[in-house]
Structure formats: structure tokens, C-alpha cells
Structure 1
């Protein structure tokens, strides 16, 4: 997506939604191939790490939302 993040923007958003949401519906574009209900499992905080360039942070926030650790 941006920098060293691998995959297209929709696929990366699907990975992040898997961490953030407690229930997911099928969304093939985002790589979610079956319904997922995480029941009472706690949510995770997505972390975009690994040499983020400060000039690309606005792009990461656009794709991943503002509830991510940069």
C-alpha cells in the first residue's frame, strides 16, 4: 500500500478490520472469505511499523484510519 506494507489497499484494510472488529461478514475484495464472529475475544490495536517515512503518514492514515499506532 504505502512504503513496505504489502498488498493492495483493500486487502490491508481487511487485515486491519480482522484485528479491530468483533464480527466480520464475507468481503472477498478485502480478503475475508467467510463470516467471522470472535465472540468475547478482545480486540487488538493494529500497528504499522518498520521504517515508516514521516512524509507517508498521511497516506497510512487515509488507508488505515486514525485508530492505528504509527
Structure 2
């Protein structure tokens, strides 16, 4: 799975209601409005992938960064 495919999935999972909720709590415009549970489901499907996690982190999109944290391999 590529970063572009993942960002497309995250964007599809996002809702305006969740984006407004996150913005109210301090998240900026760099978000899709995806619930954490949906991010966890996506992380389980992708499994650990350190290189992909680093690429997702570099996007500066909040949900992509949360997903990146879940994809990193623990030491």
C-alpha cells in the first residue's frame, strides 16, 4: 500500500462533523476528520511498516501521523 492510497482511504473515512470537532479542540486544517477507531482498523490491515510510517509522518496530516505511530515497530 502506498502513501497516496492510504491518504485517499483516510480522506474517504473522514467526516465534516469529526473535522469540526477536532478543529474545536485545537487541530488545524491539516486533518481529514477520521475517528481513531477507523485509523486503528486501517493500521491492523497494513501491519508494521517502518518506512511507510516515516513517509506518512512527513505528510503533516494529523490522521496520517497517528497511523504512522501505530505502524512503527517497537524496539
TM-score range, shorter-chain basis? 0.3 to 0.5
Larger radius of gyration: 1
Task: State the TM-score, normalizing by the size of structure 2.
Answer: 0.36
Looking at secondary structure, tell me which structure has more helix per residue.
Answer: 2
TM-score, length of structure 1 as denominator length: 0.37
More strand by share: 1
